[in-house]
Chain A
Amino acid sequence: MSDIKNIKDKFISKLKNDLSIDEINEIKTELFGKNGLISLKFKTIGSIPEVDRKKFASNLNQVKDELQNLITFKINEIEGKKINEKLEKEKIDITLPERPFVRGKIHPVSQTIDEISSIFSEIGFSIEEGPDVENEYNNFTALNTPDNHPARDMHDTFYLDENKDVLLRTHTSPVQIRTMLKDKPPFKIIAPGRTYRSDSDQTHSPMFHQVEGLHIDTNINMGHLKGCLNYFIKEFFEIEKIKMRFRPSHFPFTEPSAEVDIGYEIKDGKIIIGEGNQWLEILGCGMVHPNVLKNVKVDHLKYQGYAFGIGIDRLAMLKYGINDLRAFFDCDYRWLNHFGFDPLDVPSNYRGLSR
């Protein structure tokens, strides 16, 4: 009995020393090897008197477990230490640069078109498109702007032939004509796209973007026009209240016609939209002229409605604080990087137009 205790005490104290793996393995063999001290003890179990046998065995097992656990613990301790030492040596400078990544960007005009589409989508407009090259009829004549009309002077037109029959569209309004010729009323569309005028200076670019809007039904009046644009402008600029002014103007293809100004002020060199005492013209609109409806074979006694045209680049400049229109098309990577949007920032109704 005391023999077992002796073994236990002796080896526990032995194992308390600082040992190498080899030394521990030696001890392991000494105890549990074929002729190990503990192994030999197990072989004696049969010769222990029946009365004591149970106690002896239980005692022996207990000592065996205790020593074995201690050995395992010691081994783990040494191995853990070794691994830690190894990992410590593998330490790197984690502040070194990561593998390079490049970020693509979406152009602010594209982003703005997506924002506009998202807003109008919510109130039931769908998107139509038309070609950049137009014939004279769709761009002017069908829009109640005959050849001798002085309003044509306001559109410095690029022509593709000497007869001036084909041209680069000067506005997105010909999409109205195409849409109404193609389908039957009611119409509720917007048409964003490229437009062209032979104008080039600080505030004019020979190419720019417009979005056309058209809503024709049996009962659409100027109140709906006002409501639609009021809604759009509030949503677009992401503000609660907007100071907006409708004032009479003239476009050959609408009657009555209006231009819309929004209030703004300059605070600390930044433009604040929606308040203030200054007015900024942002779009033209009106009730579609009966002559236009006649030209596209829509019964103007039964159907009426409004149309509008908005400069997209101008809206983008106002919303995102961009000063120079020409820079939009200059393709300077610094500008594109600065004003561009992450491709994952898709404007949508549920997550809002912008972050």
Chain B
Amino acid sequence: MKITYDWLKDHLKTNAKEDKLLEKLTDIGLEVESIENLSEGLDLFKIAKIIKTEKHPNADRLKVCDVDIGDKEIKKVVCGAANAREGLLTVYAPPDAIIPKNKTKLVVAKIRDVTSYGMLCSESELNLSDESDGIIELPSTKYAKKKGKSFFSKANFNQIDLSITPNRPDCLGIRGIARDLSAAGFGNLKSVKDKKINSKKKQTLKVKITKENNQGCLSFGSCLITNLKNIESPKWLKDKLISIGQKPISAIVDITNYVMIDINRPLHAYDADKIEKGIIVRNSKSGEEFTALDNKNYKLDNGMCVISDAKGVLGLGGIIGGTRSGTELDTKNILLESAYFEPRSIRKTAKKLNIDTDAKFRFERGIDQLSIEEGLNKAANLIKEICGGEISKIDIQKIESYKNKTIKFEPKTFEKITGFKISTKEMINILDNLGFKLKKEKKFFKLSVPSWRPDIMQEIDIVEELVRITGYEKIKIENPIKDRTKNTLNQIQKLFHFIQRSIASKGYLEAITWSFADAKYNDHFKESNKEIKIVNPISSELGVLRNSIFSNLTMYMSKNLDRGIKDLSIFEIGPIFYGSQPGEQNTVVCGLSAGKKSRLSWLEKERNVDVFDVKRDVIQTLVEAGNDSEKFYIDHKSPDYYHPGKSGRIFLNKGKDEVAAYFGEIHPNIIKTLDIKTESLVGFEIFLDNLKLTKKSLKDQKTKYSVSDFQKSERDFAFIVDKKISAQDLVSVISNIDKNLISNIKVFDVYEGNNIPENQKSVAISVTIQSSEKTLKDNDLEKINNLIIETVEKKTGAKIRS
């Protein structure tokens, strides 16, 4: 909502400085968003006379004009306007002037080799109207003697842009703002002295509001003004509208706009001669059409509130009028409408048709139901004053009469909510100034809510009014007490934070990417999940909710590789979605590692990052998070976006409840399709929701400390075994032989090829044997040695290599 202090002073008696006003506005909740000095530099625009025009030597359509701006020196200006002619009075803008319309700064410029000192302006360039055809023509009667004077009057004003919250429609009018200010002790609200329409002429156009379900119009006031002459608005009115950034159009339109801004009372003027046999306010029928004043054709649904006549729809009530009954400069007779439309109905229709107008904005927030007559009086009198004509009596049709809301308010509620006290006298004063009617009862006030405050519904709203006007700075600070009765984080949240930092500590950069993804990427990673489309995405590249974090990480990894980094690890911890209902999401830690290890190292041979790098990161993280790696179970099954041979999944135990993690090389086809330029790309996903939460706290997790100091011995075995037998199987068989004696098992070599039969491999395993009770003798060791060979051979079909 744009205002000026000047306009505010039409309603407010005050001598305070503008900076005090700005402070007060923000203090009472009418936030000053910006201030702009519009008149700055406007004094540069001079009334000027063209004394000579010549054709431009190098351009047919241009003229070189000699312009008299009252100085001795005549200015040479190149001008393209057809109406530029000798003797014309117009507006001249010198170099350095800023054109109001497009805010560009003029410079001395050569136009096709002729230097132009400044410019002659059109009405549109001066923001006076939309007229851009030719330069402005000033009537000589009024301007002949003003040559060289500033065209714009000298008011030095600031345009103040307020951010009015949706609950305050009353402050969409200057008067409402003035009322709030006066209640807060900033100036005094002037009383209104609007003339009432005093006419004996009947309003002869019949208006009818049909009674039907969900009728959006509750009352419709109107009057006819006949035999008027719609002209250009007088300067004071144009200046007023320009001062808040509106464009003057014609007197009738300008006056309705002026009244709307002044008291937040939207009006609509119809060309009465274009209305067929009276007005019917009714619900639309599906398929009805009309062309609105924005020159768009709208097709209506059932049940939209329309103003119509015998021929059909004239306009959408409270939203936009139609071209068929629009006023023009030659309009003679008008019907002026001042109505009340229900916010709900307005909003529904405007949303469906996607129309946003000033009237709609105001009606959907709630217009003062009792301002119908005031609006008509104010506007009709102004029209008569400016355009002449005769005003009829006011006709008001309504299907429901308005009753002020009443609220019971207990003064002690104020302190209960705000924590501080104000006297009842102060309360009464504030409420009175805001327009409440107040009746004091024993323990409470009975308040009648002013008709312009649809936002006030209950006691708490009264508290807000009082504390807002009193000032939030009066609220006393109650310092918080440092006391904790509940854990800050629960087990899942602790795990989240732990794993996040655990992964980062392994050299991964944490990324946060959007929860939505490009379907093109997501397709590769969604597996059998259904695609979850966003109905109204920002762009098609962000059209679906991600089924996997890889959908985003692969794209960003690729972008980073393109930036020239070769070796990089990134990860994200966040949601993935498997359905479109609330809660159909999982928390996943997903990492991606690209490139080589020891690239360009003088110490070591470089190698590609591989599946065992990510496997280490995952296993280490799971172990750090409190899981026992000896219980882990790993197999080959993994989603299709991994390399089928070089990937796997991890279960926290052999029971295979839920997959704790996947890891592996990303499928080469995907790397190729997505054009990811790297030597190697490996990744992992840890599913937080599938990890077991440790029920014990750290202090309970530590078991009794016991170690063995008896001698340990290491024995190495090499088994030749079928390729299908996994290292995990071999280790598992050995570890089950004697848990008391076998303390550690390590696979230290795997070999296939020469000397090994086809489809078989040689696996070398080192087993540590140690007793917690005694030093083992040679024959004890021999016994366990043989038992290991015997058992492995029996259970896996392996042969010990001799």
Q: Do A and B come from one complex?
A: yes
| A102 neighbours in B (Cβ, 8 Å) | 507, 569
Contact status A336-B482, CB under 8 Å: no
Contact assessment for A131 and B601 in the assembled complex, using a CB-CB cutoff below 8 Å: no
Q: Which of B218-226, B242-250, B531-539, B785-793 is the contact stretch?
A: B531-539
A290→B460 contact, CB < 8 A: yes
Chain A residues with CB under 8 Å of B478's CB are: 221, 223-224, 226-227
Say yes or no for B560: interface residue by CB 8 A criterion. Answer: yes
Does B585 belong to the interface (CB within 8 Å)? yes
Taken together as a complex, chains A and B put the C-alpha atoms of A154 and B361 apart, in Å, by 13
Determine whether A343 belongs to the interface, using a CB cutoff of 8 Å to chain B: yes
Known: A221-B417, A248-B29, A256-B417. A198 touches B536 (CB 8 A): yes
Q: Is the CB of A105 within 8 A of B512?
A: no
Alpha-carbon gap, A223 to B545, bound state (A): 42
Beta-carbon contact of B582 and A231 below 8 Å:
no
Please give, as numbers and ranges, the residues of chain B lying within 8 Å of A331 by CB-CB distance. Answer: 511, 513, 552-553, 556, 559-560, 570
Q: Is the CB of A246 within 8 A of B481?
A: no
Are B458 and A249 in contact, CB atoms less than 8 angstroms apart? no
Closest-by-CB residue of A relative to B487 is A126
Q: Which of B125-133, B433-441, B493-501, B661-669 contacts A (4 or more CB under 8 A)?
A: B493-501
A148 to B31, CA, bound (A): 24
At the interface, yes or no: A267 with Cβ under 8 Å from chain B? Answer: no
| Interface assignment of A123: CB less than 8 Å from any CB of chain B | yes
Most buried by B among A224, A289, A337: A224
Is B475 touching A105 in the complex (CB atoms < 8 A)?
no
- Report chain A residues within 8 Å CB of B508: 104
Whether the Cβ atoms of A166 and B418 lie closer than 8 Å is no
User: Could you tell me the distance between the alpha carbons of A154 and B167 in the complex, rounded to whole angstroms?
Assistant: 13
Contacts of B550 in A (CB 8 A): none
Whether the pair B515, A207 counts as a contact (CB closer than 8 A) is yes
CA A104 to CA B571, docked complex, whole Å:
9
Contact between A159 and B536 (Cβ–Cβ < 8 Å)?
A: yes
Q: Mark B544-582, 1 if CB is under 8 A from A, else 0.
A: 010000001100100110010100111100110100111
A121 and B417 alpha carbons, distance in the complex (Å): 25
CB of A127 to closest CB in B, whole Å: 6
Q: Which of A6-14, A80-88, A106-114, A268-276 is the contact stretch?
A: A106-114
B716 touches A (CB below 8 Å): no
- By the criterion CB–CB under 8 Å, are B500 and A160 in contact? no
Q: Are A223 and B420 in contact (CB under 8 A)?
A: yes
Asked whether, in the complex, the Cβ of A328 is within 8 Å of the Cβ of B512, the reply is yes
A223 to B533, CA, bound (A): 45
Known: A127-B489, A248-B472. A103 touches B560 (CB 8 A): no
Closest-CB distance, A333 to chain B (whole angstroms): 5
Q: Which stretch of B109-117, B142-150, B321-329, B462-470 is in the interface? A: B462-470
Let me know if A149 is at the binding interface, CB within 8 A: yes
A332 close to B (CB within 8 Å):
yes
Which of the candidate stretches B97-105, B252-260, B342-350 sits at the interface with the other chain?
B342-350
Q: Which residues of A contact B467 (CB under 8 A)?
A: 222, 248, 256
Q: Give the docked Cα–Cα distance between A328 and B493 (Å).
A: 23
Q: Contact: B504 with A124, CB < 8 Å?
A: no
Nearest neighbor of A300 in chain B, beta-carbon distance: B460
Query: Which of A231, A250, A333 has the most CB atoms of chain B within a 10 A radius of its CB?
Result: A333
When the two chains form their complex, are residues B479 and A106 in contact, meaning their CB atoms are under 8 A apart?
no
Shortest Cβ distance from B305 into chain A, in angstroms?
14
CB-nearest residue of chain B relative to A261?
B26
- Is A237 in the interface zone, CB < 8 Å from B? no
Q: How far is the CA of A257 from the CA of B419 in the complex (A)?
A: 15
Q: With A99-B603, A160-B580 known to touch, is A150 a contact of B29 (CB < 8 Å)?
A: no
A134, A151, A256, most chain B CB atoms within 10 A: A256
What total of chain A residues lie within 8 Å of the partner, measured CB to CB?
A: 88
* A158 at interface, CB cutoff 8 A: yes
CA distance A250 to B603 in the complex (A): 65
| Closest CB in chain A relative to B767 CB, distance in Å | 31
Given the complex of chains A and B, what is the CA–CA distance between A323 and B556 in angstroms?
21
- Is B154 on the interface with A (CB-CB < 8 A)? no
Q: How far is the CB of A277 from chain B (nearest CB, A)?
A: 12
Chain B residues positioned under 8 Å from A198 (CB to CB)? 536-538
Q: Is B503 on the interface with A (CB-CB < 8 A)?
A: yes
Interchain Cβ contacts within 8 Å, total number: 252
A258 adjacent to chain B (CB < 8 Å):
yes
A200 within 8 A of B: yes
The complex places the Cα of A124 from the Cα of B483 at a distance, in Å, of: 5
How many Å from the CB of B549 to the closest CB on chain A?
A: 11
Asked if B532 contacts A160 (CB within 8 A), the reply is: yes
Tell me, yes or no, whether A73 is within 8 Å of chain B by CB: no
**Chain B interface mostly:** loop
With A and B bound together, what is the CA distance between A121 and B542 in angstroms? 36
The answer to whether A247 touches B26 (Cβ under 8 A) is yes
The one of A122, A151, A228, A340 in contact with B509, judged by C-beta atoms closer than 8 angstroms, is A340
Residues of B within 8 A of A265 (CB): none
- Judge whether B493 and A129 touch: CB under 8 Å: yes
- Measured in the bound complex, the distance between the Cα atoms of B511 and A337 in whole Å is 10
Asked if B476 is at the interface of the complex by the 8 Å CB criterion, the answer is yes
- Alpha-carbon separation in the docked complex, A190 to B602 (Å): 51
Q: Is A320 an interface residue (CB 8 A)?
A: no
Instruction: Pick the most buried of A110, A161, A248, A259: most chain B CB atoms within 10 A of its CB.
Output: A248
- What's the Cα separation between A249 and B416 when bound, in Å? 20
The answer to whether residues A250 and B585 also contact, given A151-B166, A222-B417, A333-B563 and a CB cut-off of 8 A, is no
Contact with B along A299-331 (1 / 0, CB 8 A): 000001000000000000000000000001111
Report which of B416, B532, B575 forms a contact with A194, defined as CB distance below 8 A. Answer: B575
For the complex, what is the distance from the CA of A124 to the CA of B484, rounded to whole Å?
4
| B211: interface (CB < 8 Å) | no
Q: How far is the CB of A177 from chain B (nearest CB, A)?
A: 11
Chain A nearest Cβ from B357, distance in angstroms: 14
Q: Which of B418, B485, B486, B583 contacts A221 (CB 8 A)?
A: B418
Cα-based distance from A261 to B283 in the complex (angstroms) = 46
Q: Is A162 an interface residue (CB 8 A)?
A: yes
**CB of A125 to closest CB in B, whole Å:** 7
A263 to B206 CA separation, bound complex (whole angstroms): 60
Tell me if B6 is interfacial: C-beta within 8 Å of chain A.
no
Given contacts A105-B509, A160-B535, A223-B478, contact A150 B364 (CB under 8 A): yes
Among B503, B512, B569: residue with most chain A CB under 10 A: B512
Tell me whether A127 and B510 are in contact in the complex, defined as CB-CB below 8 angstroms, given that A106-B501, A248-B472, A333-B568 are known contacts: no
Residues of A within 8 A of B512 (CB): 107, 109-110, 328-329
Take A194-B574, A246-B473 as given contacts and tell me if A123 and B480 are in contact as well, using a CB distance cutoff of 8 Å.
yes
Chain A residues near B27 (CB, 8 Å)? 247-248
Q: What is the bound-complex CA distance between A99 and B605, given in angstroms?
A: 12
Q: Which single residue of chain B is at the shortest CB-CB distance from A290?
A: B460
B175 at the interface (CB under 8 A from A): no
The residue on B at minimum CB distance from A186 is B485
Mark contacts of A111-155 with chain B using CB atoms, 8 A cut-off: 1 yes-contact digit, 0 otherwise.
000100100111111110101111100100000000011110110
User: B694 contacts which chain A residues (CB < 8 A)?
Assistant: none
In the assembled complex, the Cα of A135 lies from the Cα of B583 at a distance in Å of 10
Determine how close the nearest CB of chain B comes to the CB of A281; give it in whole angstroms: 9
Q: Residue B423 at the A interface, CB < 8 A? A: no
CB of A255 within 8 A of chain B?
yes
CA distance A154 to B166 in the complex (A): 9
- Kindly list chain A residues whose C-beta atoms are within 8 Å of the C-beta of B537: 158, 198
> Most B CB atoms within 10 A — which of A151, A194, A224, A247?
A247
A135 to B582, alpha carbons, bound, how many Å?
Answer: 7
* Known A121-B484, A127-B488: A104·B510 in contact at CB below 8 Å: yes
Closest 4 CB pairs of A and B: A248-B29, A223-B419, A102-B507, A250-B165
29 contacts between A and B (CB under 8 A): A104-B504, A104-B505, A106-B510, A110-B510, A121-B484, A123-B482, A124-B482, A124-B483, A126-B488, A126-B490, A131-B585, A132-B575, A133-B577, A133-B580, A133-B581, A168-B534, A194-B574, A206-B542, A221-B417, A223-B418, A226-B475, A246-B472, A248-B468, A250-B165, A289-B460, A331-B553, A333-B570, A343-B501, A343-B505
Given A166-B582, A206-B542, A329-B514, 7 more A-B residue pairs with CB atoms under 8 Å apart are A104-B569, A126-B487, A129-B493, A149-B166, A154-B166, A256-B463, A289-B460
